[in-house]
Amino acid sequence: MLTTQARRRQTFTRAARLILPRQFSAAAVACALTLFCAPALSQSAAPEVVTTTSPVETHHSLSIEGSELAYTATAGTLPVRLAKAGAEATMFYISYRKDGEDAAVRPITFVFNGGPGSSAAWLHLGALGPKRVALDADGTVPPAPARLVDNAQTWLRFTDLVFIDPVGTGFSREQPGGQEDSGRARNPFWGIESDLHSLAEFMRLYLTRNARWASPKFLAGESYGGFRVATLVETLPAQFGIDLSGAILISPVIEYTLNLGNDYLNLMPWVTLIPSYAATAFHHGKSAEATGRDLSEVVEQAEAFSRGELLLALASGAPRSSAEQKGALSRLAAITGLPPRWVEHYRGRVPAEIFAKLLLYDSGRVVGIFDGSVSAPDPERLTLAYPPHDPSFYTLIAPFVSAFNAYVRDALDYRTEMRYELVNAEVLRAWNWTEGGSPELPGVGQRLSNALALNPKLKVLIAHGYFDLATPYFASKYVIERLELDEAIFPNLQLRVYPGGHMFYTHTNAREQFYLDAEALYRPAAGLTQPR
């Protein structure tokens, strides 16, 4: 029997391996595994200096399809406090308010990313804000320097926006001098429950200071941010009195047990990955069973195979030489485009890193984990190890950081010498996955179900990319099918899948369709009869 401490360590290990961005080396994971006996962590070697007075308002306009959209941008911080820990932090935000609109009826959306350890800049400059980082149509990065362009698909067209950086990301920092802060082993804001409390407290304070309590309120979160959203839709109304009209979960992790493919007794992670493998293989012309068919048909057939023939073969425990096993593994190889000998070697349990390494192995290329449609020359062709840098993620970091730093200081006039933490690995390494005492892997499907049952008018959109091998869309579909929602409220929960990866909005076609689907979700709350 494992001790409670050992079970918690095992839980953290699995979670860290799933969500640690691939640009961090295996050494970073190893460092994470020493957390429970690590010395106190500090965020920086020297104090950081802020030279601006918060908040700062600037005025702008955006031309979309011949119409002018005038808006006010605000960059600043709000103080949040964890009473039990005696800890305080300042949380940085950038908000956008459309000019000339009645705040009492204008929707407002609070937006954050995931990680844990990611700032809101991904959604801000990738999809939702009035400016976005210029990328090629397929999501690849053009030559430097990075530049911003007007975003015709900005959600500011139908909702005001507040982009929030959780503590330790962006310009958000814990303040020194809190209760016993010098003796703590980790930042008190870096845990499941404390993080949610700080976000909720931020929203409460923002609504109060900006007179937005009467507005229709929405949440939008990506990746672990979707995990946050699924919890907050249940807790915000009851614990903070914040009523919600809708929520958008973007490439979310809802149940970690469906995303961790390192447990030989847990079969579903291997099943939920297959449609994304099939989509990626089809995109690269490697699927033997998909010649001449479209993407939707490919993934539909992969879903049927994975939850049927493959699941039965994995669950049967029959020898690999049996006809049942041979047939299932042979078809799996054809669907995924992998060499049959490797599918047989892993007995159908093919990790995402192995799939991404082997799919284009003969051509000397490797595909992305965050976006399987992206490929790059493999820098480690002589090994079977996946490279330390995911080509679909690593190449986006510098453009987003560079563009944000120029934008916030020049266009938004927010002056600071602080480092903007787009992705802070320290947050993830120190994250308290078992805050609250549970040693089990976290999951929030039931909390989402509770929220929908208690608020029959709540609208929820779950959005994924077909080529996302980190948080595959089929895991969310599997959860949705098992929420046992009442027939009357089941239409309130929608799943949409787009031709893209984890950040599917970097693909032009996906971003445009995502905008239309989101606008349709907001239309009743915004009082709109026609698309904007």
pLDDT by 10s per residue, the chain, length 532: 444 344 444 444 444 444 443 333 333 333 333 222 233 333 333 444 444 557 999 999 999 988 999 999 999 999 999 877 678 999 999 999 999 999 889 999 999 999 999 999 999 999 999 999 999 999 999 999 999 999 999 999 999 999 999 999 999 999 886 544 554 567 889 999 999 999 999 999 999 999 999 999 999 999 999 999 999 999 999 999 999 999 999 999 999 888 775 667 788 999 999 999 999 999 999 987 766 688 999 999 999 999 999 999 888 876 666 777 888 999 999 999 999 999 999 989 999 999 999 999 999 999 999 999 999 999 988 888 999 999 999 999 999 999 999 999 999 999 999 999 999 999 999 998 887 666 567 788 899 999 999 999 999 999 999 999 999 999 999 999 999 888 899 999 999 999 999 999 999 999 999 999 999 999 887 666 566 6
CA dihedral 9, 15, 16, 19 (to 10 degrees): -170
Whether the ω angle into residue 55 lies within 30 degrees of 0, i.e. cis, is yes
Please list the residues that pair with 496 across neighbouring strands.
Answer: 463
Distance CA 463, CA 146 (A): 27
Whether the full predicted model's pTM is greater than 0.75, yes or no, is yes
Work out the angle between the directed axes of helices 445-454 and 224-235 (0-180°, nearest 10): 40
33-37: which pairs have CB atoms within 8 A and are 24 or more residues apart?
A: 33/9, 35/186, 35/429, 35/430, 36/5, 36/8, 36/9, 36/12
Beta-carbon contacts of 82 under 8 Å, excluding residues fewer than 6 positions away, are 88, 188, 189, 194, 197, 198
Work out the angle between the directed axes of helices 295-305 and 323-336 (0-180°, nearest 10): 160
Tokens found for residue 206 = 């923002």
Integer-rounded Cα Rg, in Å, for the chain is 23
